[in-house]
Amino acid sequence: MQIRFADARPSGEYALVLPVAGKDRAPLGSLGDAQQAVGAALDRQRFEGEASSVSEQFINEGGTVRRLLVVGLGAGSNGGDAREKLGGTAVARLLTSGEKTAVIDVNGLGYDADAAARVALAAALRSWRHDRYRTKLKDNQKPTLEEIVIVGGSSGAEQRYTSRWAPVVEGVSLTRELVTEPANIIYPESFVERVRKSLDGSGVEIEVLDRAQMEKLGMGALLGVAQGSAREARLMILKWNGGGAGQPTAFVGKGVTFDTGGISIKPAAGMEAMKWDMGGAGAVAGALKALALRKAKANVIGICGLVENMPGGNAQRPGDVVTTMSGQTVEVINTDAEGRLVLADAVCYVQRNFKPSTVVDLATLTGAILISLGHEWAGLFSNNEELAGELTKAGNESGDKLWRMPLGEPFDRLIDSPIADMKNVGPREGGSITAAQFIQRFIENGVKWAHVDMAGKAWSDKASFTYEKGATGFGVRLLDQYVADVLEG
């Protein structure tokens, strides 16, 4: 999708998008002779300008017929959400409409450079599609929209979009691509190659550990998950050195490219969705791309623990005991609680090798978090109040929203094992909390740590103003905003 900014509406064919705040009809004044008819149509439609509401009309403009979308912003709403809802709503309506160009006129709204750029950000995000395997799309199902022109807003909007938000679009797009691809296309080795190709020339340094290297390091937890699969595990290390003194910050992602549950096999119904169980690793890769493309002034390490969890003849069994890289032992009660085993070795590796001051891990970890928070928030667990507050703020600003969940010694006791240092699951109750407690056992003293359980957010069965049904790209904007606010701010 091409994004342009202009001071005035162009000539030629395009669909015109006019935003209105509540019942304020002032923007219709720019329609000239068509103003009265459009206003009357809005009245008959009982259009009240609520956020994301749309009235679609056709008007006569200079002897030609022009498609007009009047898009509601909501009364008195001038925040980031309203701006993004404007851009995303317009594109959702016009993407397959037959129109090639959409002009979104924000004159009169008082938008500064960032506000206008955020309209473009959402428009670009909402235009993302993955039609690679759809060979029989009808013409009216194919995207036609090629260009968005943002008219109005203060000077500097184009530069703001190009330098700040276009890189985020690229990062989110990479994550969505990785999450959407099926497991016969994206598995540990191909995940690495896809990310390597996407980051080529970005300045991100990439290192990859294979099975032999991880065996030498003692990563028995991560490799135990992978041992039933014909696809070998990988640990991918992404390094962005954007400047600044002090210890780096680490982002660690669970990358289970397909999760059958292993010997503790999942029900067949819906198992195809488990291709997105690598959403945490996908978010880390996308975030590093965004940070590199916008030349973020921060030092960040990204770790992607990549495995496939399969029930092969060599698969890990319930009751097996594995030794982690940290030296701690784990009794594997349920092989479908595999993500925390991957993260245990991944967070140990990054702490031992890079000495980060802060570790944030992201994982589609537990079904229990969906019972708690549905698909509205990801769960946030942390050992540090300041870090929890910073991530919550970044989530609210970016739209990748988080809800703080508890940690505590009573929950930690639930994962004690009678034959090992710990077991990988506790009771059914509090399942997302005991999973977080498990990961916390691998965090070294003095390291600030947060765990984001995004099981309800990597994939969506309903569309939003920044994504269609499917992969959301959750986590990229969260991490990017955290870096902007805390590491660069």
Task: Please give the positions annotated as active site.
Answer: 266, 340
Q: Which residue has the tokens 């096999």?
A: 265
Residues 6+ apart with CB under 8 A from 199: 206, 238, 285, 288, 289, 292
Rounded CA gap, 471 and 174, in Å?
11
Evaluate whether 104 touches 148 at the Cβ level (below 8 Å): yes
Helix (H, G, I), strand (E, B) or coil at 333: coil
Give the DSSP letter of residue 163.
Answer: I
Helix (H, G, I), strand (E, B) or coil at 2: strand
Count of C-beta atoms within a 10 Å radius of residue 403 = 15
Q: 186 in the Ramachandran plot: left (φ > 0), alpha (ψ -120 to 50) or beta?
A: beta
Rounded CA gap, 191 and 208, in Å?
11
Half-sphere exposure of 81 (CA within 13 A, CB side): 12
Return the H-helix or E-strand segment holding 41.
Answer: helix 35-44
Q: How far is CA 22 from the centre of its chain?
A: 31
Give the DSSP letter of residue 414.
Answer: T
Q: 104 in the Ramachandran plot: left (φ > 0), alpha (ψ -120 to 50) or beta?
A: beta
Nearest to 171 by CA among 288, 57, 64: 288
Residues 6+ apart with CB under 8 A from 128: 172, 173, 176, 467, 468
Evaluate whether 361 touches 425 at the Cβ level (below 8 Å): no
From the number of C-beta atoms within 10 Å of its C-beta (0-12, 13-18, 19+), residue 475 rates as buried
Question: Phi, psi (5° rounding) for residue 282?
Answer: -60, -40
